[in-house]
């Protein structure tokens, strides 16, 4: 996946659950092409984000089950692929990134783990709608997409 695009969970989930900005997310997912990198962090966070949508009443149980089934099917068919990296190196790099800039820009642990996973997998592009995560990815030397964040819709 060297030189590829790492798509963060917020965008990835929009490929399975239609929500605000999902059209912008679909455009990014299509531009990234397949297979899409699916890190260990994605596996937990994507499925948990879908389950939280049910908890918050945004989707029902059937939609939750269908979305998680679709994620797993995409992993099984190769649309989503595991990166080749040492997971311990991902965590070590995330800690180094934290030391470099979390005190200034407020990046969260999961933000840093995604950025570190992208770097360890050899990605050069990072796609996210999260401003702090985008800033962290940029400071870490990744090209950030989209260039301009979509407008918030009511």
The dihedral built from the CA positions of residue 65, 68, 72 and 78, taken in this order, carries a sign that is positive
Task: Give pLDDT tens digits along the chain (154 positions).
Answer: 556 999 999 999 999 998 877 888 999 999 999 999 999 999 999 999 999 999 999 999 999 999 999 999 999 999 999 998 999 999 999 999 999 999 999 999 999 999 999 999 999 999 999 999 999 999 999 999 988 776 665 4
Q: What is the pLDDT of residue 154?
A: 47
List of residues 6+ apart from 120 with CB closer than 8 A: 83, 85, 86, 89, 90, 93
Q: What is the pLDDT of residue 46?
A: 97
Q: What are phi and psi of 57, to 5 degrees?
A: 80, 15
Domains of the chain by range and CATH? 5-145 (3.40.50.1010)
Within a 13 Å sphere around the CA of 73, how many CA atoms are in the beta-carbon half? 7
Q: What is the pLDDT of residue 114?
A: 97
Give 88-137 as a DSSP string: HHHHHHHHHHHHHHHHHH---HHHHHHHHHHHHTT--EEE-S-HHHHHHH
Total residues belonging to the chain = 154
Is-contact 124 6, C-beta < 8 A? Answer: no
Written as six digits, the tokens of 131 are 């401003």
Q: What is the pLDDT of residue 19?
A: 85
Alpha carbon of 2 to those of 18, 19, 110, 120, 123: distances in Å? 30, 30, 22, 9, 5
């Amino acid at each position: 996946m060297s030189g590829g695009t790492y798509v963060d969970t917020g965008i990835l989930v929009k490929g399975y659950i239609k929500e605000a900005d999902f059209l912008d997310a679909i455009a990014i997912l299509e531009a990234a092409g397949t297979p899409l990198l699916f890190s260990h962090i994605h596996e937990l966070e994507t499925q948990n984000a879908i389950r939280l949508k049910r908890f918050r009443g945004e989707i029902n149980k059937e939609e939750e089950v269908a979305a998680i089934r679709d994620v797993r099917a995409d992993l099984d068919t190769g649309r989503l692929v595991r990166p080749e990296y040492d997971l311990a190196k991902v965590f070590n790099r995330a800690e180094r990134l934290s030391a470099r800039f979390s005190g200034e820009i407020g990046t969260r642990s999961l933000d840093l783990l995604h950025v570190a996973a992208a770097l360890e997998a050899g990605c050069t592009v990072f796609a996210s709608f999260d401003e702090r995560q985008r800033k962290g990815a940029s400071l870490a030397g990744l090209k950030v997409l989209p260039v301009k964040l979509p407008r918030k819709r009511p």
